[in-house]
Structure 1
Amino acid sequence: MTQIFIGSEALAANQVNRYQLAKTHQRVFPDVYAPPGDLTLLDRTRAAWLWSGRKAIVTGRAAAALHGARWVDPDIPIELNFTNNRSPRGIVTHRETLLATELTCRDGLPVTTIPRTAFDLARRGNPRRGIADLDALANTTRFSVNDVLSLADAHPHLRGVRRVPSMLDAVDAGAQSPRETYLRLDLVDAGFPRPQTQIPVARPGGRWYYLDMGWPEILVAVEYDGEHHRTSRTAYSIDAERQDYLMSVGWIVVRVLADHQRSDVIRRVRRAWDARLHRAAS
């Protein structure tokens, strides 16, 4: 981890002089500095906390990352619960009641607990992005929906609280990336039943394949393939062998890439459904 520090404190302790501060360090936030180089999300989160004078509580997506959630963009604004309406670029502040039971510590930083973090993710921002963030947190922590709902009862007047139950109802801990979350939501929005995620399929030797999502009752699956499936020859070979086996045991697998149009994906899935239902009816 990069050494983040408060500039005025370092000057007072004669750890650096003003020339060194200006020429050999980068300013992260007002009076908060770091050595040159790329900063991680944890670095930026620690810098934001130092900017607050070590008084703020880390919330939102940065809190989710501290709890181990993956797929969090390192360049996101850092959300803090802190009484300051003039936050610098890269920091977003909230002034909300946090109970003692909603606070914990991760990596030496004060942070909202997992249930409170999920509660905040469910209330704020774009709903699709929020569900993806909740999926990522659930994938890592398997948080209790009831624990989160109890916070809605404890804070009935906070902005966005009314949408918390519906957001939690859409969460699936089986999502392995935001793209998988968006794919699942697109399928539901198109009228398909909510797909099961991480579907186990037995294969020879006592091992298993796991399908991203689908409907085991009709043996139709939908899988999102990341870029490595096309750029890695080994991954491509393994995928081909896997696809052949799944077809041999009756599965129809619709494979989706990042550049596929949503309408084309829905049409392909509907065609797979129609083929399977037609076969069942004949």
Structure 2
Amino acid sequence: MKNFNFITAVVLIFSLHAPAIADEQQIGSQAYNQNCKACHSADRFSVGPSLVEIRTKYPKEKRQAFLDWANNPGKVNPKTIQMPAMAHVGNDKLAAIHDYILLSTKFLNERKPKPKFSFKAPQKTYPFVKRAFMPFTSPASIFVALNEELGIVWDTTKLTTRYAVAGRQNIFSGENRIEQVRPFVFYSETADTFWSIANDNNFNFAGYRLVNGLPNFLYSIGGASISEQIERGNKPKSFKRRYTIKGLKQGLTLDLAHQGSAQITADQGQLENNRLTLTPAQAKNFTIEVTFP
């Protein structure tokens, strides 16, 4: 009978306190969902540490340390964002959150992060064309990579090649790395005006199409319609510009002034001191080749 009375008393006491325990757990769960769940997951790191990690660092006997941290967290992990202070929640609810953390993670372990998938971008095939920010030219320029040895930058505002770099060189690095790109520019065209028929108002770029992976630029200058096909040259480190011009009623001079070592040849006209002079007949179809040592 005595044993019966003792068990009955224990059950009665537990029954009396169970609603209070349940209420506290509900308060802790609600407070966690409202204030903590967005940044803390049960068993894995998300924006902040997991509840398992918090339980490990702040067990029941370190309740006060947990409250101090929650009220004034500071910057614990330099690789994560700053946790805001939870003083507005109040110590009673923070203590309920602590109880909820201890109970809900009692049988959980920290989940190990999945190994990162190692992705290796496929190797670039040549030729290819890309539009992106590039230094030493206008924002409207186009990069043409002919091979690993050679890439050229073609400017749609000046309607001509601006400079050449190694085709494998990453020049799309933004303004902060201009000085790092500069040593890889081994050729640049320096003429203020490439076309003798140009003035400030008669440029019109009409786009480009790809022919065998290389761009055929289409544009007009004054009354002349121009097609410029970029091609690989006769050597790995050379390129050709094959021009077809319609509507030209006068002779033409191209200023090929440049910096850097390059041999420039043309199949039409007279090339002297980096200036190519063409008659109207010669200007209908001609090719310029630029070869680097």
Q: Normalised by the shorter chain, which TM-score bucket?
A: under 0.3
TM-score by length of 1: 0.21
| Greater gyration radius | 2
TM-score by length of 2: 0.21
More helix by share: 1
